Amino acid sequence: MNEEHMEVVMGLIMHGGNAKGYAYQAIQDAKAGNFDEADKKIELANQELKAAHDTQTGMLTQEAQGNHVEVDLYMVHGQDHLMNAITFKDLAIEIIELLRRLDEK
């Protein structure tokens, strides 16, 4: 495995993990009634997901150009982190919206 491959994998894991962490913090902020902070954390999660998505798009572009991207357990693990982060962020948005509605009543 070459260094470039590991950088891609670690980028997916790092940005995915950061995004999930921000989404978790956003839920905690919303539970405390700090909805402005929760919204800021969701935006930070979105920025992290964009960075991971840009990495993923680069891999897809390489593959489309005929430069095979190595798929190994590390890559699967990185993709798993990214997909879980996306799902977690989407659910966090729904939870925050429910908490916002409850707070308004």
Q: Choosing from 53, 68, 77, 81, which is the catalytic residue? A: 77
Percentage of residues in the chain having pLDDT higher than 70? 99
- pTM across the whole model: 0.89
AA letter at 77: H
- 85-94 burial, b at 16+ Cβ within 10 Å, e below that, comes to bbebbeebbe
Domain boundaries, the chain: 3-104
- Give the number of other Cβ atoms within 10 Å of residue 78's Cβ: 25
The CATH fold assigned to 3-104 is Methane Monooxygenase Hydroxylase; Chain G, domain 1 (1.20.58)
Summarised one tens digit per residue, pLDDT across range 4-52 is 888 889 999 999 999 999 999 999 999 999 999 999 999 999 999 999 9
Does the annotation count 77 as an active-site position?
yes
